[in-house]
Structure 1
């Protein structure tokens, strides 16, 4: 017997995770996805015989997703083969190549060789940031919907370790004296689309997570994780409707009651879960004037992440580069300032290169390479004419990449290519202002001040994804799904008890089993 009907808007990783949890626990779930494919920003790009991840290119903290699969009596590893990356990545500062590893002894040796005198700072970083993570992680696993949520033991435990006053860069300056080494542990702020000089010091835990728990590549690409969740949803009789766009969330008496599709069909539902890009969803999915807190004027005043310029290149030769390479700008601080503050295209850019074929032969034919390159750029609030600048940026990126010995002359071997600029992110992928990493993680847009998992404007409506608590990045997106589905199930459990009186012993046992 179904516990109720749930409609999920968007088949991104958050929507799929929520749908999997609820389908596996007895809900009748349908996911509505506008695109003809699933995954959202974590989907696959296929160009002829070459396959690419559209967005995220590594998987972190697989234990979180393992727990979610186990909660619905499945094993992640029956669906996805994960390979741990060692080194984590290659970071290039001019002629200096630094390859961090999770092996502590090797890491100390490499740091002392390249950045003498900084080894002890690394050990302090791992110890102190580990203690911080242990205090902060409970706050990322539960909702913040009202002021009283701050009055709890875990908040008081975490407060002395939050490091919210001061930036990621400030925090790393306590551990390291060499600027390049600071950048090696602060560039992760870009995962949130922010500057390490502006990102709250709390987020030094991003680098800690990489160095403590490692980075993983799913064979077939990170999009394979989305495919795996979709398989489990279908195994539990859930439905994923692609090429099916939602026009409106329907409401009655202050509660969400269904959806109006672009086709004109009306869908009844007991709950609506929104996994669409947050600001885009608020702008399009509700009747004008229905939302007070998220009106167009108020959305425009919020802070958003930077954007990205993406190149997907099918190359008909082998490229022997590491899985991840970051080419730092000669003046990294000025580069970040251009993007985040001046909002101009930087003449001295940093570039990320993804070469997964070095460990995954499934992405291109033998002897060929599926190469992905990303350059952080301002979002569309900047005065950049992308119709004019797109080709110039492409040529600048290719010229910079050609300077690497492994890539010398590779441009003449490009047989397939696709570009996603900030304009494409907005127009083709419904990303508000092309802000690839969603709402910025500033102090006034975190925890209680971030859009709530239980959508406060409308009952029986829930948010998942990077635009709600706890934030952007795959691990936190999965946590948002887990938080929202637990709130939804807890509400339903209370409603059943209110309607039917005290829960029977059998019902209580069923609820206890569901929460394991």
Structure 2
């Protein structure tokens, strides 16, 4: 999609009337109209700030975009919504009717299938999951139950931590005793393997960090709290897809599309004072909220792009290939959310996340070798929303994790070979030997597209890896500790990636920023601002 000319307008295309503006109090520029940027902008605007969102693309949503080809439509970013109450809270805190967006339950949340024929539906509710386990792995039920008991307090801790800023490394160290008490610091895979023996169930109960760019063999077990989160919350599909969530968040906001932030201007004191755009535009402001790639902000501040200090410990996440397929017929046996594991999970994840242990042997260097048998995620929303494809058709988005561009030289792969693995897996899942004859539309999105379209360092797909040194204090702080007036939100900021993560981060960032503006006398506590602040504290 091409970029439109820079112009100040609302997401609906209507130019706001200058006479309708409230008297100037606090001016905030949000850089990036991703889900986190839109959510924080809504909260700040409702609190009484004068908010302008600048977006380098020609539409809102960032990675949560939409692609169309003929009668086919695909969400290009996140597709699984959990914690729908957080979406409603975000809308309400921004002065939007929380019922403006319909949400459809998806149950089972997803289906996991292995190449050897094993299959598990992952439903909402702990007892429902244990019943599914008992059907195929009755000897594992007690172990899975014990594991869920271990993960429950880690889930509660995740929610608590997500609402807490990490101003000091001591904030992180203070959590260590609690994490240790609940085995939250050991690798997630190790905790799962301690209670579950079957490799299929180990995959099913440990893979969840892959949804936010994490390696389940290395991330701390606290991220296993994503399992009870999904069991409690269930899976949800917004009417019209995640793209309709983007539109609902963007509609009340003033957004400048085709506007790339070239520089964050600072006063002699070091505090933020304006944002300069490519082409010479300049927007004066009291604060900036950065919703772009966490590494690109260094360039906007005039620093070298290389990572320094504590950020060296946090690595950019893996990337992914996204295949968009339009089939002229509906594929049988495919769930709304479907995961395929083509072989042993560990070799593939080690390859995709470019672990040191996955380096090629010296004798094999200089030769490209194929990836291990792939694991992939398939989004097939026509089961819930037939409008995504022509009548009787199917619109599939398939995500395959791959190494980011910083590791691609050591971990070569062929897009064509991965495509063949994807289509072969879809044939296995659907049972259609003539599947390729029904394929009408096909597009692919690569790590180079992540780099060029989203300015993502090394073509990362999920910002930072959620390792121990990529979490909490080691991620971008919601309130920048070095630059007064600079704040962060989105996948690269605390608490992290995923729709719940960026919405929780937006709530935290808005709370910190409004408190700072009030302290500076730029924002009052009355009216809509007070209501928004109270919503942000809940």
Answer whether TM exceeds 0.5 for this pair.
yes
Structure number having the greater helix percentage = 1
In structure 1, how many angstroms separate the alpha carbons of the residues matched to 2:31 and 2:451? 18
Following TM superposition, by how much is the alpha carbon of 1:371 offset from its aligned partner in structure 2, in angstroms?
1.0
Does the CA contact (< 8 Å) of 2:326 and 2:395 recur in 1?
yes
Q: Which of 420, 428, 442 is the aligned partner of 1:417?
A: 442
Following TM superposition, by how much is the alpha carbon of 1:388 offset from its aligned partner in structure 2, in angstroms?
7.9
In structure 2, how many angstroms separate the alpha carbons of the residues matched to 1:70 and 1:336? 39
In structure 2, how many angstroms separate the alpha carbons of the residues matched to 1:493 and 1:203? 35
- Write out aligned runs for 1:210-249 (5 A): 210-231=230-251, 234=252, 238-249=253-264
Following TM superposition, by how much is the alpha carbon of 1:134 offset from its aligned partner in structure 2, in angstroms?
2.3
3-state DSSP class of the match of 1:240?
strand
3-state DSSP class of the match of 2:338?
strand
- Write out aligned runs for 1:128-143 (5 A): 128-143=150-165
Deviates more, 1:460-469 or 1:1-10: 1-10
Aligned pairs, number: 496
In structure 1, how many angstroms separate the alpha carbons of the residues matched to 2:71 and 2:25? 43
Q: Which of 157, 179, 191 is the aligned partner of 1:171?
A: 191
3-state DSSP class of the match of 2:122?
coil
Does the CA contact (< 8 Å) of 1:188 and 1:206 recur in 2?
yes
**Which residue number in structure 2 is paired with residue 500 of structure 1?**
none
In structure 1, how many angstroms separate the alpha carbons of the residues matched to 2:292 and 2:521? 29
TM-score (norm 1): 0.90
Following TM superposition, by how much is the alpha carbon of 1:3 offset from its aligned partner in structure 2, in angstroms?
3.3
1:394 maps to 2:419 = yes
Q: Which of 147, 164, 179 is the aligned partner of 1:125?
A: 147
**Which residue number in structure 2 is paired with residue 144 of structure 1?**
166
Instruction: Rate the CA distance shift 1:338–1:371 in 2: closer, same or farther, 3 A.
Output: same
**Which residue number in structure 1 is paired with residue 295 of structure 2?**
279
Following TM superposition, by how much is the alpha carbon of 1:151 offset from its aligned partner in structure 2, in angstroms?
8.3
**Which residue number in structure 2 is paired with residue 261 of structure 1?**
277
In structure 2, how many angstroms separate the alpha carbons of the residues matched to 1:108 and 1:388? 38
In structure 1, how many angstroms separate the alpha carbons of the residues matched to 2:98 and 2:434? 40
- Structure 1 residue ranges without an equivalent (≥5): 498-502
Following TM superposition, by how much is the alpha carbon of 1:407 offset from its aligned partner in structure 2, in angstroms?
4.3
Does the CA contact (< 8 Å) of 1:345 and 1:377 recur in 2?
no
Q: Which of 403, 409, 416 is the aligned partner of 1:378?
A: 403
**Which residue number in structure 1 is paired with residue 112 of structure 2?**
91
Following TM superposition, by how much is the alpha carbon of 1:105 offset from its aligned partner in structure 2, in angstroms?
4.2
- Write out aligned runs for 1:462-473 (5 A): 462-473=487-498
Following TM superposition, by how much is the alpha carbon of 1:87 offset from its aligned partner in structure 2, in angstroms?
0.9
Instruction: Rate the CA distance shift 1:331–1:270 in 2: closer, same or farther, 3 A.
Output: same
- Structure 2 residue ranges without an equivalent (≥5): 1-21, 360-368
3-state DSSP class of the match of 1:367?
coil
In structure 1, how many angstroms separate the alpha carbons of the residues matched to 2:405 and 2:238? 32
Does the CA contact (< 8 Å) of 1:132 and 1:161 recur in 2?
no
Following TM superposition, by how much is the alpha carbon of 1:469 offset from its aligned partner in structure 2, in angstroms?
0.9
**Which residue number in structure 2 is paired with residue 318 of structure 1?**
330
In structure 2, how many angstroms separate the alpha carbons of the residues matched to 1:69 and 1:297? 37
- Write out aligned runs for 1:468-507 (5 A): 468-496=493-521, 507=525
3-state DSSP class of the match of 1:456?
coil
Does the CA contact (< 8 Å) of 2:314 and 2:469 recur in 1?
no
